[in-house]
Structures are given as C-alpha cells and as structure tokens.
Structure 1
Amino acid sequence: MAYPDDLLSPSEHVVIHKHPHWKMLLLPVSAFLLVVGGGAYLAALVSDLSWASVAWISIAVVGSVLVAWLALAPVIRWRTTHFIVTSDRVMYREGVLKRTGLDIPLTRINSVRFEHSLLDRVLGCGTLIIESASDEPLEFDDIPGVERVHSMLYREINDNPEDDFQPEDRVSDGRA
C-alpha cells in the first residue's frame, strides 16, 4: 500500500495529499548551482598547478559535502513532508531520520483560515491556520493551493450527514 493509504482506517479516504510548495526548493537549487559553479571555477584555476590532482580531490570532497548539506538534505526534507486531509482527520508528517506527525480529527476543528502574502499569491501558496481544541492555532506554511485546500477542508468539516437539515424529520415530528 502507498503512503498515506497504509495509515488510514478502513472507512477513511484521502481528500488532499500535498507536499510543501516548490518555492521551498529555490534555495537548495540555487545552492547546488553555486557550489557546482564555484567548484568548476576553482578546478579550472588550479588545473595548471603541479598539485592540481590533490586540489581537485579537495574541491570534490568539499563540494560534495556542501551539496549534500545545502541541496540534497532540504530536497529530501521537502519530499518527506506530507500534508494530508482525509475524510476523518488532518494529518501532517515530516522528517527523515526523526519522524514527527500530527493528527487532528475533523470533529475537533473549530475554524480554518488562510493567509498569503503578495508573493504567495503569485506563486499560489500560503499558510493554513487550523484552530482546534488545542491552546494555540496550528500553522502549516507553504501549502500549495491554500485557498482550495481551505475550502476543501471546510467542506469536509461541514459535510457530516448527521448535521444535514432533513425537512422530512420536521414533518414526522408534527412541527411542520
């Protein structure tokens, strides 16, 4: 079974499954390009020296460490961060080595709102703020399509069939 399907109860289904917005990858991609470009420039500078092979190995080692730390780790962190809305709850999972998770039952959510700056509006993302029975509201940053997620989540919260108005019940009670 694929993630997050293996975490669901038998009657539960996924409504929305998102990773953070791709804007989180701009800095890691820029860092990758700078490290590779800087390493290539330094390798070209030392190519005429007698100890060029030692310098190339040093540049490759330092460049590999920088790429792993500044580019690869954030991409893996982005890929392993999940924001999921199901028919029963909101789930948030993040982390690679240290995995953390948060589940909020839809019945415990009091309100849902979103915020996005001008740049977020241009990029199509924002912050989703969920107020539940906890003390402080929970903020989920860089949710892609935050307005759509907001409306879908609101719809899931309020689409409880037990809460729907049923006029035939009023007639059968004799109050019509």
Structure 2
Amino acid sequence: MGFPESVLTSDEEVVLHLRPHWRRLVAPVGWVLLVLAAVIGGFVIWGGSGALVLGVLGLGLLLWVAVWPYLEWRTTHYVFTTERVLTREGVLARRGRDIPLARINDVSFSHSLLERMLGSGTLTVESAGERGQLVLADLPRVEQTQTVLYELVEADRVRPTAEDDAPAQKRPPPPGPR
C-alpha cells in the first residue's frame, strides 16, 4: 500500500517517503521458521490428526507473530514533504500526525552500534505545540534523513509566503477619540 497522495496540498511535494527499517521484520521471520519447524516435526512424530491440530495452531500463531507485524510495518509511513512531516500508521485503526516545517525547533538522531551497522536509528523531531516530540524509531538512513529534514526546515524559513507576495492592504485607522 503506497502513501495516499490525496492528503497532500496542491503545492506540496514528497521529498522522502520511508517505512520503518526492515530489521523490524527479523523477529517475525524467525518465528515463521520456528513454527514451520514445529509443524514439520509434528507431522514426522505424530502424523495424522495430531499433526493437523498442530498445523492449525501453527497457522494461528503465524498470523499473530508474523503476518500482523508485517502488516503494521507495511502500513507505517514516514513522509517528509516541502511543507510538513507526516506519519501514518495502523492496520485497522489508523493514527497520524502532521508537523508543519515552520513549527520544527530541533531534529536529533541516535543509534546504537547494531543500528549503525544496519543503517537505522531513531529520529526525534521537536516541535512547538502541545504534543512536543515526534519520535520515529527504526528509521532507515537516519543521519541522511536528519540532514534532509534540516534542509527542508531551512528552505521553509526562507520561502516567501502568500502574505509576502500580496499587495499591502490599507488598514483602517485605529479607533481613537474624535
């Protein structure tokens, strides 16, 4: 499932569209291999009906430990545009957050040695507002993403606004004594 372009404004362009790093799928793949080994072992040891029960239980376990995390990974979007940072996530119930570039105060990243070796990390976006931080965990290419976001914020600060382009309107004089 791609990111819906319909949520963008007419002048807005997607600069970077990311999903969480693939390492989020390592544990589910490990579970798939473990469950498959258990089901095959059940067929070899018990054969017939015992293996059928084990197979049904294994299928249910696979749906829970492998398919659901994959769907969560697949439906999580981190989108950086010329106007804002958007997040969208959730399989059945959706959650989203938008932060206009003008509200971003600070962008920082962190990654452990393992995350560094795999090319992922955590990006923290500080914004002015009630909710404050946006933490994007397991983000691929976190250092490059921080640089791109910094460049977007700087470009947004120097971009002329519609008010700058509009002709000055005459305002009525302030009320005062007559």
Which residue of the partner structure matches residue 79 of structure 1?
A: 74
**The residue matched to 2:123 in structure 1 has which SS?**
strand
5+ residue gaps, structure 1: 165-176
CA distance in 2, matches of 1:28, 1:121: 21
Which residue of the partner structure matches residue 26 of structure 1?
A: 26
Equivalent positions of 1:107-118 (< 5 A) are 107-118=102-113
5+ residue gaps, structure 2: 161-178
Kindly indicate whether residue 140 of structure 2 is the aligned counterpart of residue 144 of structure 1: yes
Which residue of the partner structure matches residue 11 of structure 1?
A: 11
Of 62, 87, 112, the match for 2:57: 62
TM-score (norm 2): 0.85
Q: 1:161 to 1:127 in 2, by over 3 A?
A: closer
Which residue of the partner structure matches residue 44 of structure 2?
A: 44
Which residue of the partner structure matches residue 155 of structure 2?
A: 159
Q: 1:71 to 1:62 in 2, by over 3 A?
A: same
**Paired letter, 1:140:** L
1:139-173 CA-to-partner distances (Å, cap 9, x unmatched) read 11000000010000000000137369xxxxxxxxx
**The residue matched to 2:3 in structure 1 has which SS?**
coil
CA distance in 1, matches of 2:100, 2:74: 24
CA distance in 1, matches of 2:57, 2:36: 11
Which residue of the partner structure matches residue 168 of structure 1?
A: none
Q: 1:132 to 1:87 in 2, by over 3 A?
A: same
* Pairwise CA RMSD: 1.5
Which residue of the partner structure matches residue 101 of structure 1?
A: 96
Q: 1:163 to 1:87 in 2, by over 3 A?
A: closer
1:108-155 CA-to-partner distances (Å, cap 9, x unmatched) read 000101001111100000000001013542211000000010000000
**Paired letter, 2:33:** L
Identity of aligned residues (%): 41
